């Protein structure tokens, strides 16, 4: 039992509890705050996996940019109430069915993980500095990098077109 293991257990518990809080909170702003807590603890999990660059990007892009966008839209639309009283699910069995399916998926994944996982191969780790990742992105993965830039451009144009008043 190492220090890292206890840190991992703590952070994993915070991540799962924050995810449950996201489900149980009645107010969308609280749900967004729980999601930010979840993302921060996931960033610590990335640090434990020796990926400091990805952890920094997680905090800056996810917990920073994307969640600011979420909170902005929630406040702009005044959509804080998550379960308005006038809302009735058209399908009565939808919510219990979602719980059953979610639990079934978790049990199935857990069983597969615990029974089918082979032994890990210990190999030498590459350099995980931003410099090394940047070199990999601009040499080996240049084509996906360019494709993803087109995707981002399409997303920007799509967002502008969708929100424009016609």
Partner 1 sequence: MLNGIPLYWYLIVAAAMFCIGLYGALARTNAIAVLMGVELMLNAVNINLLAFWRYLTPESPAGLAFAAFVFIVAAAEAAVGLALIISVYRNMNSIDPEKLDLMKL
The neighbouring-strand residues paired with 81 are 27
| Cα(98)–Cα(104) distance, integer angstroms | 10
Among 33, 37, 45, 56, binds partner 1 (CB under 8 A): 45
Q: Closest approach of Cβ 33 to partner 1, in Å? A: 11
Per DSSP (E only), the strands in 24-158 are: none
Does residue 120 belong to the site contacting partner 1 (CB under 8 A)? yes
Closest distance of CB 67 from partner 1, Å: 9
First to last CA, the chain: 61
20 touches partner 1 (CB under 8 A): yes
Q: Which position among 5, 10, 131, 146 is part of the footprint of partner 1 (CB under 8 A)?
A: 5
Q: CA 29 to CA 79: how far, in whole Å?
A: 9
Question: Taking a C-beta distance cutoff of 8 angstroms, is the pair 74, 25 a contact?
Answer: no
Which of 73, 77, 45 has the alpha carbon at shortest distance from 58?
A: 45
Is residue 47 involved in binding partner 1 (CB under 8 A)?
A: no
Helix pair angle (130-138, 142-163), 10° resolution: 90
Residues 132-151 that bind partner 1 (CB under 8 A): 132-133, 136-137, 140-141, 144, 148, 151
CA gap 45, 52 in Å, rounded: 10
Among 10, 65, 131, 146, binds partner 1 (CB under 8 A): 65
Site string for partner 1, 74-113 (x = CB under 8 A): x-xx-x-xxxx--xxxx---xx--xx-xxx-xx--xx--x
Residue 117 contacts partner 1 per CB under 8 A: yes
Q: Binding of partner 1 at residue 14 (CB under 8 A)?
A: no
């Amino acid at each position: 039992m190492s220090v890292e293991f206890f840190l991992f257990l703590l952070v994993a518990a915070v991540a799962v509890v924050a995810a449950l809080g996201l489900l149980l909170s009645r107010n969308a702003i609280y749900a967004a705050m729980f999601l930010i807590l979840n993302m921060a603890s996931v960033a610590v999990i990335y640090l434990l996996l020796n990926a400091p660059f990805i952890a920094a990007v997680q905090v800056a892009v996810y917990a920073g940019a994307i969640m600011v966008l979420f909170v902005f839209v929630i406040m702009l639309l005044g959509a804080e109430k998550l379960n308005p009283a006038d809302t009735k699910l058209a399908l009565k069995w939808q919510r219990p069915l979602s719980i059953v399916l979610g639990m079934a998926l978790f049990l199935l994944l857990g069983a597969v993980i615990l029974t089918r996982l082979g032994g890990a191969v210990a190999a030498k780790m590459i350099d995980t500095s931003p410099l090394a990742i940047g070199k990999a992105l601009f040499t080996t993965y240049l084509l996906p990098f360019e494709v993803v830039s087109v995707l981002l451009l399409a997303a920007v144009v799509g967002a502008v077109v969708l929100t424009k008043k016609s």
